[in-house]
Amino acid sequence: MTLAARAHAHLSEAALHGNLTHLSRRAATPLLLPVKANAYGHGLREIVTLAARHPDVWGFAVATPREAAQVAALHTGRPTLLLTPPTPAEVPVLADLGVRLPVASLAEADALPAHARAHLKVDTGMNRLGARPEEAIRVGARLAERGLLEGAYTHFATADEPDLSFAHEQLRRFRTVLDALPATPQPLLAHAANGGGILSFGALPGMRLARPGLTSYGFAPPHLRAALPLRPVMTLTAQVTHLHTAHAGETVSYGGLWRAPRDTQVATVGIGYADGYPRNATGRAHVLIAGERRPVLGRICMDQLMVDVTGLNVQRGDPVTLWQQEDLTVTDVASWGDTIEYEVLTGLGERVERVVGSG
């Protein structure tokens, strides 16, 4: 007997492929698709499998060596770039898997095996990882001398903000490095644009890849949403597990935060903050059930939440939509939880089953 999950993340292949097409056309480059953090909560295996079918996806970007190994094990035939530094012991293992490695120092460049492929990481102002431009030029020259330099990249700190002045400065610094690097047998795979960069700048001359993260999954800052018709890839649903009546004057959930003003029909739903639904959305959250938008009652629990279903025809096992592509979105849930879409999506737990659909 197969035991069913109580909550499901429904993934739209059409939405993902549409987003990737729009982003690749606007950037005028193939895409290096970030699938870190379990593909932004959507499911690494599911998203990599779907995206590998898209002609504009050059490869995948991850944040940890374990993620890199997981993508490599899927045998998509597409390259994988590790964005953060591996330990010395991990370098030969990853190189043997064909993972492209980030390099930001001469020591790292000298330690690479002869069969490795490297992407020079340039810090143009993010001040998080990478070599500053002057050092990056020296490191890039060493990598080129060893025949290991495949790409070079930087990361915009403010490309999704209305003021693009610092993003322009970062781009200028990056181009200074690129212009100083020696020629490579194959054109250097330079990449800088994240999703905000693609929406703000469009095509960037000289860049051969782009790395759209959250935009690939259908989300953009409010001032950039008109740039492309992106669609959220995920719809999240859970099941009604219990129905009961809370009588007038009774409270619901921890702390007694909500008191019934009248006899209220309550549906308990099998999802909670352990699954990634934000506890901070307590008192503001709504869901869709039986075709209506209804409030979540009282404190959101670890494994469950309660909904007012008075007057609705609801049965145990009925689906409840926590978010969808429009009308009730991840953006709404993030707002109720005083957070951002990234945190809500990447917090989606393993108890939520990922299900791929074509629509």
176 is written with which tokens? 């200074």
Contact between 104 and 129 (Cβ < 8 Å): yes
Q: Encode burial over 26-35: b for 16+ CB neighbours within 10 A, e otherwise.
A: bbebbbbbbb
Instruction: Name the CA dihedral angle for 201, 203, 206, 209, rounded to a multiple of 10 degrees.
Output: 100
Please provide the distance, in angstroms rounded to a whole number, between the alpha carbons at the two ends of the chain.
29
> Is the CA virtual torsion 239, 242, 248, 249 positive or negative?
negative
Are the CB atoms for 116 and 146 separated by under 8 Å? no
Candidates 153, 217, 254, 277; catalytic one: 254
**Residue appearing with tokens 């102002």:** 125
Beta bridge partners of 258: 252
Q: How many other CB atoms are found less than 10 A from the CB of residue 279?
A: 15
User: Would you say 117 and 100 are in contact if contact means Cβ atoms under 8 Å apart?
Assistant: yes
Query: Among this protein's residues, is 254 annotated catalytic?
Result: yes
Which is catalytic among the residues 36, 121, 217, 273? 36
Residues annotated as catalytic are 36, 254
